[in-house]
Amino acid sequence: MAAVFTGQTALVTGAATGIGRATALALAAEGARVWINHRNQHDPAERAVEQIIASGGCAWAIEADVSDPAAVAAMFEAIEAHGPLDLLVNNAGVILEKPFLETSEEDWAMVLGVDLAGVYRCCRHALARMQPRRSGAIVNVASDLGFLGREQYTAYCTAKAGVIGLTRSLAREFAADGIRINGVAPGPIATAMVSPEHMSDEWMAQELAIPMARLGTPEEVAAAIVFLLSPQASYFTGQLLGPNGGSWMGA
Ligand code: NAD
């Protein structure tokens, strides 16, 4: 039986590490040719490419800061010069833990610039090309904190709430074009983004009140992203799946 994404090309942003890396590997395992976007992470990005190629897949690394409009434009030009982009995963993100009154204009612009404007920008470039072809699928990586909010993380939570609104609005606007746009809103996942002191299962259960009382894995999020991009999810658009151990059950 043919793999799910045979003949299709995917771009995963921030794919040198964590959830993005796991997603790139999972898409490649299902037959997609994968562009591994990164910012200043040549070695881990190349290692992911090598791992995919060693497994019989096809992948390339491509550097671009998603907060830089010119760099993103150049990335999409370079990708489309190889062939049409079918699948986009907006995963690149940064987090900032700071009391709100210490969150400067620069902090705010930095977090929103990557976590929200980066998603807007990549969606625009992708959709401008997908719309005339009347095909494509996008998954945006939000967070359960986009629903819940969290003290000391206001810029991050605001950006992720924005990603949810962006995802739902684009889903409505592009449904008639045959393009599905969904999101995932993970709970705490064991990646570099979660600080080591917050890694214990006890902390998950008591401080975060997570019913499953453990961190998720990047692969558990990747599985949800792969599903949403696949034909199995053909009636899903504007949806947020929550690989979150039960941290948020409202959407
Ligand atoms: P991570 O730090 O391993 O991954 C984030 C990746 O984004 C890194 O590779 C980083 O280099 C890249 N990146 C950052 N800024 C970039 C930019 N301007 N341009 C291009 N790439 C950039 O952590 P992760 O947990 O795998 O995070 C992936 C996504 O998942 C993020 O959007 C994050 O907000 C989201 N998320 C993570 C958790 C969690 O608990 N780990 C929970 C919910 C959502």
Q: With 0.75 as the threshold, say if the pTM is over it.
A: yes
Determine the residue type at 110.
M
N-terminal to C-terminal alpha carbon distance within the chain = 34
Q: Does ligand 1 have an atom closer than 6 angstroms to the CB of 92?
A: yes
Quote the CA–CA distance of 15 and 225 in Å, as a whole number: 13
Q: Which of 120, 153, 156, 235 is catalytic?
A: 156
Q: Looking at ligand 1, which atom is closest to the CA of residue 186?
A: 43
Q: Which residue reads 């939570």 in tokens?
A: 157
Q: Does ligand 1 have an atom closer than 6 angstroms to the CB of 65?
A: yes
Q: Are strands 33-38 and 137-141 parallel, antiparallel or unpaired?
A: unpaired
Please state at what angle helix 154-174 crosses helix 117-133, rounded to 10 degrees: 10
Please state at what angle helix 18-29 crosses helix 218-229, rounded to 10 degrees: 50
pLDDT for residue 74: 98
Per-residue pLDDT of 32-75, as tens digits, reads 999 999 999 999 999 999 999 999 999 999 999 999 999 999 99
Examine the pLDDT at 195 and tell me if it is beyond 80: no
Mean pLDDT of the chain: 96
Q: Which of 231, 219, 136, 124 is nearest to 177 (CA)?
A: 136
Q: Does ligand 1 have an atom closer than 6 angstroms to the CB of 244?
A: no
Quote the CA–CA distance of 239 and 3 in Å, as a whole number: 24
- Kindly state the average pLDDT of the residues 217-237: 98
| Residue 156 a catalytic site member | yes
- Kindly state the average pLDDT of the residues 98-114: 98
